[in-house]
Amino acid sequence: MISRFAPKPGKEDPQKRIAGTEAASYVRDGMVVGLGTGTTVYYTIRTLGQKIKEEDLNILGIPTSLDTRNHALSLGIPLTDLDKHPVIDLTIDGADEVDPALNLIKGLGGALLMEKIVASATKMEIIVVDPGKLVKCLGRGKLPVEVLRFGHRSTARRLDHLGLKPSLRFDARNTPFITDNNNLILDCLPGEMEGPAEMERNINTIPGVVENGLFIGLTDLVIVGEENGPKTLKRGED
């Protein structure tokens, strides 16, 4: 299997497919496109591959993970990088939680660092989700924090002092999950956060923290895949 985010045969998720496919319609010829990571944006990447083959769509992709890189290359999507194209026209990515102001928690797929760099370098960020990702307040589930291997137990103690109950993420083989950037992930349990922007800053001041999964003020549009079609939420409309 090219991507660990691909649906199992016969197990396509219609809501994710609706959101992911709709987002591809925002991509125009000549664009540099940030390609997110996960099971929802998987459908966007698949659709872009089809459009390149069938409609001669001409784009350059910037992947946010090795998985997305391999998936995009397998579909014939030409790739570039941020050194050659420091400003991205449009990025499409998934999320784990979306609040009414379109702030996000991301990183359950383990790619939050490159996703945040790409989201910060893009003119427009579109997030694709199924309706289960919409929350009133961020913090319902885990908040992933990417940390250096060096001193990770000390870093975890500092996160614990913020009340975040960190635990080291393990992979399916029961060994510590290693990110594409050779770091570890501490999954935190913040509970519902009144001030996610302050939390984002506080976490990132801890030495050893590389980045955290709070994406504040980076999203322009959310596409929600509802059973009867896509619904869009724009920043500033809550």
CB of 210 to ligand 5RP, least distance (A): 13
Is 237 annotated as catalytic?
A: no
Number of residues that bind ligand 5RP (CB under 6 A): 18
Q: Which is nearer to ligand 5RP, 5 or 208 (CB)?
A: 5
Cα-Cα-Cα-Cα dihedral sign, residues 171, 197, 124, 137: positive
Active-site residue identified among 115, 125, 146, 200? 115
Q: Does 108 bind ligand 5RP (CB under 6 A)?
A: yes
Three-class SS state of 154:
helix
DSSP β-bridge partners for residue 126 = 92, 221
Contact 226, 133 (CB under 8 A): no
* Binding piece for ligand 5RP, criterion CB under 6 A, among 66-74, 107-115, 195-203, 223-231: 107-115
Cα 45 from Cα 72, distance rounded (Å)? 7
Cα 81 from Cα 136, distance rounded (Å)? 35
* Binding piece for ligand 5RP, criterion CB under 6 A, among 38-46, 50-58, 172-180, 216-224: 38-46
* Binding piece for ligand 5RP, criterion CB under 6 A, among 48-56, 103-111, 153-161, 167-175: 103-111
Q: Does 97 bind ligand 5RP (CB under 6 A)?
A: no
Q: Does 187 bind ligand 5RP (CB under 6 A)?
A: no
Q: In Å, how far are 83, 150, 151, 178 from 209, measured between CA atoms?
A: 24, 10, 10, 14
Q: Which is nearer to ligand 5RP, 113 or 156 (CB)?
A: 113
Q: In Å, how far are 47, 106, 135, 185 from 166, measured between CA atoms?
A: 37, 16, 22, 9
Q: Of these, 34, 36, 166, 190, which contacts ligand 5RP (CB under 6 A)?
A: 36
Q: Can you tell me which residue has the tokens 């698949």?
A: 46
